[in-house]
Structure 1
Amino acid sequence: MVKVEIVDEKDAQGTSPYASHDSSRTSSSVSLDSVDSNVDKDESVLDRIAALVDIVPPTTRHAISTKISRTASLLKRASKVAGNVVWIVTTSALLVALPLALALEDEAKIVAQEKELLEQQQGQQMLAPAAYPPGSNPNQPQSLVPPGF
């Protein structure tokens, strides 16, 4: 915070470079380098920013504060809704899509086994007429079980 003090010229004679002596008014021998700075060495950047609050009028501060709080509230609600949507999608995928994927995989295995069995039967039917004795009828209906079982 800035502290304002009223100093009489009589008390400040000789101690201030800005004294009202006639010679000092026209003289430029006194520079700002000779004036001690009253900056507090322990003051942080946050303290300086906090001191800037006094520059902004109260109505503007209130408007800024209101906008920031509304934005924070909106972001909080949006993140809550997004979290709920992610939860719903994830649990739905686990409860519906995972069992469906497993069932489709099992069905694909069964289809592959049936196809392999059919290929085995077709391969044995091609070899089967040569496996019959020469006196048997090749037009005889074939059984589903291959010979030798």
Structure 2
Amino acid sequence: MVKVEIIDEKEDGNNSPYSSGASSASASTDSLSSVESDASADETLVERLAALVDIVPPTTRHTIASRVSKTASLTKRAGKVFGNFVWVITTSALLVALPLALALEDEAKVTQTEKEMLEQQNGANQMLAPGQPGQLVPPGF
């Protein structure tokens, strides 16, 4: 905590570089309040946060800085590992799963084509041999 003392300028012999021509204590407090209001209006939030450095003890600042540094380092490592994991999964999917999917699609097309050919042959056989049991006779016969 700060302790404020009022020192009479006459006792000091005016040797202080901060002494002014005003001898009353109220005049000096008036000038201080006007200086404070001017400074607070020009101060930005960043400057106020920077001024907090003086309030926090050095050991606490070091502890906070080391914890923030460790957290940032851990986050960076985790991001790197996660990125590598995603890279491996993505490239594996492109190199293995995509060709497999294309091969399965081609096989399905071949199977579908064979099925259509069998249906066409069955349809042609039905047209040539009407009257067999279980087969439909086309109209007009």
What TM-score does the superposition give when structure 1 sets the normalisation length? 0.66
Q: Which residue of 1 aligns with 2:73?
A: 73
Shift in alpha-carbon separation, 1:35–1:91, aligned structure 2, 3 A: closer
Q: Distance in 2 between matches of 1:128 and 1:61?
A: 97
Q: Which residue of 2 aligns with 1:36?
A: 34
Q: Which residue of 1 aligns with 2:98?
A: 98
Matches within 5 A, 1:1-149: 8-10=7-9, 13-14=23-24, 16-17=25-26, 35-38=33-36, 39-40=38-39, 42-130=42-130
Gaps of 5+ in 1: 20-30, 131-137, 139-149
Amino acid at match of 2:86: V
* Deviation of the 1:10 alpha carbon: 3.1
Higher helix share: 2
Q: Percent identity among equivalent residues?
A: 52
Q: Which one scores higher on RCO, CA 8 angstroms, separation ≥ 6?
A: 1
Gaps of 5+ in 2: 11-21, 133-141
Aligned to 2:26, the other structure's residue is in SS state coil
Amino acid at match of 1:108: A
* Deviation of the 1:45 alpha carbon: 1.8
* Deviation of the 1:115 alpha carbon: 0.5
